[in-house]
Structure 1
């Protein structure tokens, strides 16, 4: 086995995993598909393990590929930070972040204050939207990095955290006792919404949509008013809500994968924020 990794090959492997295929990775890196394929094959030969699987859903990492990609991201981040520091690039400028608003309070609020104090020359620009809308905007260059709820069919980026989805309702109200469960959900385009409805259908649980919003505050306001229930990620549950489950005849739900996607030519500020975000989201959360 060779004593050192080819960092360019690792960069190609990460690009293929994050974009879902060789065509998109080629466009992102400005390299031919064949060149990328050859370099990744060299990595596979070096390690004696297959790193990528091709299917009709696209190209996905194998278990060995996932493990290597985790190491690769850290190695590439160190390389870019060293180049930025030794090349005289200051950690300054504007850092544009796209994120669904239900993750802001749970993860970014303490991180933003700390990062701003440590990097006073960086201007943070935060834009909240649905993950489905954020990903193409990142690809178009409107964000430097993004935190998204991954599409289970075509996941993008590295997994920061897996969050269980929990049924909740207001204290002092029992909307779950209605014959047809009254629901407040995120607007069309939310990646959890069709899966929540499918879980209710599969369980034969009658339901009706009574409120929808593109923002967490809107959904939670409706639930707190007492006339409906919703399902949100565990870290986003306010202390004033009560959790529901099998005792209320509600079906078990699923986990959402929270992903980090970094733009193709990240600044030193983007890389440092990404690392701080990894550390913040890896920390255990106290139950609400």
Structure 2
């Protein structure tokens, strides 16, 4: 194995994984699919490992590919920092971000202030919506980057975090003891909602929908009022809530894959924010 990496090839490898395929990576990098394929094959030959494979989810990294991509992102970030430093360039302009609101408090709130201080010429524009509506908006160029809850049947974007989903209820209230579970859920269109209902159906747990809302704050307000239970991501559990599970008569739940999607030809501000977001999302969360 030679003693150096082709950084352009590493950039192509990362783009294929983040974009979900060679076609999208080619559009993002302005290169042909064949050119990208050849460079990645050269990497595989150099390392003696297969790096990518095709599955029903599209193009996904092998175990060796995942390990290399982790190193590649650090190397590419260092390269960008060096070029920015020597070239005197800085991120500027408007950065449009799409994200479901249940990830804002846990991950964007601590990041936004730090990013704004480090990049004062960037105007941040945040749009909260359901993941199923955010994804096509990124493809249409309406957002520069987005964070989404991936559809397990057709995942889009680079996985930057796995989030457990947990049942919660208010402290001092026991709505889970009712014979028919009083349930609060996100509105129709939420990707988690049908999976929660499937878990209840499989466990033969009777429920009645007593509250629905399109925003996390509304859901948590209903739970805090004490008349219902809901399920949220681990990072969104407030300190005022109790976690529930099989010992409380509720079925065990699942993990969500949180995806990062980059718009076509992302600018410096989007790339910098994506790097900061990967770091923030990788950090462990303290239990509430």
TM-score by length of 1: 0.91
Residues 1:251 and 2:251 aligned together: yes
Could you say which residue in structure 2 is the equivalent of 1:123? 123
Could you say which residue in structure 2 is the equivalent of 1:211? 211
Could you say which residue in structure 2 is the equivalent of 1:28? 28
- Report how far residue 48 of structure 1 moved: 0.8
Unaligned runs of at least 5 residues, structure 2: none
**Larger mean Cα displacement after TM superposition, 79-88 or 194-203:** 79-88
Shift in CA distance, 138/73, structure 1 to aligned 2, threshold 3 Å: farther
Deviations 1:217-252 (Å, cap 9, x if unpaired)? 121122222222111011111111211111211011
Residues 1:238 and 2:247 aligned together: no
Structure 1 segment 161-172 matched on structure 2, within 5 A: 161-172=161-172
Shift in CA distance, 119/20, structure 1 to aligned 2, threshold 3 Å: closer
Paired residues of 1:84 and 1:268 also in contact (CA < 8 A): no
Deviations 1:81-112 (Å, cap 9, x if unpaired)? 33344334222222222111111111221221
Paired residues of 1:164 and 1:256 also in contact (CA < 8 A): yes
Could you say which residue in structure 1 is the equivalent of 2:200? 200
Count of matched residue positions in the alignment of Structure 1 and Structure 2: 288
Could you say which residue in structure 2 is the equivalent of 1:151? 151
- Measure, in 1, the Cα distance between the counterparts of 2:100 and 2:156: 15
Deviations 1:133-154 (Å, cap 9, x if unpaired)? 2222222222222222223233
Could you say which residue in structure 2 is the equivalent of 1:185? 185
Paired residues of 2:147 and 2:261 also in contact (CA < 8 A): yes
SS of the residue corresponding to residue 54 of structure 1 reads strand
Could you say which residue in structure 1 is the equivalent of 2:112? 112
TM-score by length of 2: 0.91
Give the RMSD, CA atoms, in angstroms: 2.0
- Report how far residue 114 of structure 1 moved: 2.2
Moved segments of 4+, more than 6 Å: none
- Measure, in 1, the Cα distance between the counterparts of 2:89 and 2:76: 17
- Measure, in 2, the Cα distance between the counterparts of 1:274 and 1:55: 26
- Measure, in 2, the Cα distance between the counterparts of 1:272 and 1:58: 26
- Report how far residue 58 of structure 1 moved: 1.9
Paired residues of 2:20 and 2:158 also in contact (CA < 8 A): no
Shift in CA distance, 73/155, structure 1 to aligned 2, threshold 3 Å: farther
